[in-house]
Structure 1
């Protein structure tokens, strides 16, 4: 018998009846014996879960069978631990699962950092404490390639873009450059929630991974109207120039970079702004596709019937679901509409209530959701077709 640490415990019991001679043991002090440590090997990478120790050397982790399809009914858990005072950083290189059915859930210290499904690239997650847990589940039907990732031990101060403690002091500074990740990060005007200074001129540049977007959630905004401004731009396009009082507005970059510039004059000041930013995967659709799910932001986005401005097809049945942030509404601006009257319809509804059922020829009509979701359904029959509809939607 060899102890795994510096102690050996022996338990001996009798049943209270006949006593034999018992046993005799001897023990000696031996040198350390090399015990295999729990590390990931090439064969373990695609295993259905393991416990591992994060070190300063990046280590791989994948779903079972990767890059081949993962099995149905999978339920795998990986627990990764760093040294005391350190963090585990996961770099999710690629994820592809059956959307809304097969999930990778990432958590730390009892907090869920992400529950993702579908297709993602290049996302980074950092543990809250020194442990990160991944759980991968699949249902009994369609499977995909799963995920490919690496993990590494990092010091909290080496990743300021994902460290809450570091950002507490950085968020309210007069401008910085930052990397957007899947973890929401704060950004505020100088001195927030106290008043910003006179003659401020601050610029923040936020960059996401290639192919991703930066989404800014402007939670609260208060400046001297018509004198102190927050200008938001992306790819040389101005998305907004805010002044006065606002709350709960969302802006999404056109490319993978978002720039904020805050300016104040030499007189009256207010509390300024409080916001968060996060990396966001754009909905890969075209405006004229037959339905999609989309997020409404403060930037107007297009939506049209299939093939617009050419005629839509016969027997179309398309549904678009558009969602805004909590407390926000979706506004649809129906610019032009032309269908076969009494046969081909555009039905607009929200929270189980039908707002409109259009057929024929219309222009410049606006509809606003009751809650934060608007559903649009387009149907055509098997006969005559027209150009359909051209519209935009926005969150407000």
Structure 2
């Protein structure tokens, strides 16, 4: 019993893993004792590491191990950085399918492990293996990362790495891979307009972080209508885990929205709306388009005063609309007893006009001035009335064709030449 125990202890001690670290750009590894037969009870592990941006290239030039089903006796095992495991056994010269043959093996990253294991007997006097490895530059631009393109737009490979650049108008994201467009800080102030995801209807760029604001004057109420195509990446079981569109107002939040069905029309009831859009790095969806309009409490339709007119004349007047009132020729604007040179009223947010309607009064030039050594006859003094100046006997009028003056639009008496200068009475020659 003691002899058996000693034998077991010896076997366990011989089976301890012998680890070897290989960190050069190239190298060679062989089974223990190569090119002679390998010993029993071996467990050797080579950990190969090459610089970042490279992968391990491994191939066997000699392979002679005991053959067994599923390689359960003696074997060489290759472990890649992606946890992929390959196990080999048998003899190349006998064309066993389990041998590596002339295959070239590559690591997924910059590390690979090779394990050699032999059991308690090598009766066939097998001579093991010889393999060579080398560091090989990874063309990230060709292979990409995790099956996805290495760069969103342009990829530039160099020995040991790569870098990304973007098309004109795009910015390289902080992840150094995605290309985004500036889509935050835009403020829309017009009463109606259109808002879209970046590049719509072309696929929006990954890693988009957009914040738009529609800001109208207080008193307006915004209405949002989502147009087709509406295409935001979605998930069949989870609500918008990838890309998401949200609408915020002071009163509530609408969304999240994603998928291919446009959301229903939104009457926000407010003058200010925030539109938030967030996209992850994946997906090739077309995005969204919003047409917004605004409504407001209308003001009563204005009625022009007698002898007056309103400009502009329109069927409906809404908040911030303005009107100007002018009078027909021969009339002047008055607000109460105050003479106005012009008049404007604005439709206010509560649906009232900022000022009451003025009146149009007929122009009155008043009593004309008298002249020395003459007199003036007056009938009426309102617009287009006329007065006649005459001189005393032995005096003639000078400075006016016939002494007739008219009440003009500006409220002054003027002669037929438009002059306000009064005539003179001079002695006859």
TM-score, normalization by structure 1: 0.27
Which of these two proteins has the greater Rg computed from alpha carbons?
Answer: 2
- Higher relative CO (Cα under 8 Å, sequence separation at least 6) belongs to 1
